[in-house]
């Protein structure tokens, strides 16, 4: 048990500043509960102490610290709605399908996802979705979220081709003003950040099938993956 010393505080009682211990004594209670909340950056610390009004003796105390990002991540509800051709992403009941594909969200996703508390919260939600049966993609899906998945693929391609694909997609689906060179630089930086983070880093699972999509169409990649699935299912 961690001892907390906090009973030097004062309160307003009957128009005067008084020691809470004296107030408790006057009200004929045996103990007074003190509390304090402090914040330093992302760290929130909550302290509580129970003190005797008879002799100001420390009876009980505790201190707990929390990351605000952890608390926020655990309050978010994410769900999927609709069929594969018109799938919607819901955040606390609100449709955010279009918003999550914007340039600003893309730029921040890798940064936010490197926070351990956020990673843990997301893994729990992804596993809950997967229990219903799903095809999921993500940078740690096969290594952390579903290490026992029936089929695992790790898709890769030449960095320049990946950047060009992303650039063309952004031009068609968002109001992005990034150039091709900026898109390539952002992608390389995100890869570096994701592959070096301590919690759930980007890497191919040992039992994943590596699919190099360089120079291939979506249809060609899909056929290659389906051939792997059929051969393993035979």
pLDDT surpassing 70 at residue 184: yes
Q: What is the pLDDT of residue 121?
A: 81
Q: What is the pLDDT of residue 102?
A: 77
d(C-alpha 131, C-alpha 92), whole Å:
20
Q: What is the pLDDT of residue 80?
A: 79
97 or 217: which leads in pLDDT: 217
Q: What is the pLDDT of residue 30?
A: 86
pLDDT band at 5 (very low <50, low <70, confident <90, very high): very low
Share of the chain above pLDDT 70, in %: 91
> How do residues 189-223 score in pLDDT, each as one tens digit?
988 988 888 777 888 999 999 999 999 999 999 99
d(C-alpha 91, C-alpha 209), whole Å:
32
pLDDT surpassing 60 at residue 13: no
Nearby residues of 140 by Cβ (< 8 Å), 6 or more positions away: 123, 200, 201, 202
Please check whether residue 66 is in contact with residue 44, taking contact to mean a CB–CB distance below 8 angstroms.
yes
Task: Work out the mean pLDDT of the chain and round it to a whole number.
Answer: 82
Q: What is the pLDDT of residue 233?
A: 80
> How do residues 32-78 score in pLDDT, each as one tens digit?
888 888 888 778 888 888 888 888 888 888 888 877 777 777 777 88
Q: Which domains does the chain have, with CATH numbers?
A: 11-66 (3.40.50.10610), 74-233 (3.40.50.300)
In this structure, of 99-113, 125-139, 161-175, the range with the lowest mean pLDDT score is 99-113
Q: What is the pLDDT of residue 127?
A: 86
9 or 189: which leads in pLDDT: 189
Share of the chain above pLDDT 90, in %: 22
């Amino acid at each position: 048990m961690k001892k907390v010393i906090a009973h030097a505080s004062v309160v307003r009682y009957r128009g005067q500043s008084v020691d809470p211990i004296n107030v408790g004594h006057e009200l004929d209670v045996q103990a007074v509960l003190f509390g304090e909340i402090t914040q330093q950056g992302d760290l929130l610390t909550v302290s509580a102490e129970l003190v005797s009004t008879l002799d100001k003796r420390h009876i009980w105390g505790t201190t707990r610290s929390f990351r605000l990002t952890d608390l926020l991540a655990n309050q978010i509800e994410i769900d999927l709605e609709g069929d594969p051709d018109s799938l919607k992403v819901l955040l606390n009941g609100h449709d955010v399908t279009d918003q999550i594909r914007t340039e600003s969200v893309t730029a921040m996703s890798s940064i936010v996802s490197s926070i351990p508390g956020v990673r843990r919260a997301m893994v729990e939600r992804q596993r809950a979705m997967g229990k219903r049966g799903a095809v999921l993609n993500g940078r740690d899906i096969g290594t952390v979220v579903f290490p026992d998945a029936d089929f695992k693929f790790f898709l890769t391609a030449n960095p320049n081709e990946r950047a060009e694909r992303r650039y063309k997609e952004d031009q068609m689906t968002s109001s992005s003003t990034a150039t091709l060179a900026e898109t390539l630089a952002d992608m390389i930086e995100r890869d570096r950040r994701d592959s070096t983070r301590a919690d759930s880093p980007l890497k191919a699972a040992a039992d994943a099938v590596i699919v190099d999509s360089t120079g291939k169409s979506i249809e060609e990649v899909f056929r290659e993956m389906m051939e792997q699935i059929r051969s393993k299912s035979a």
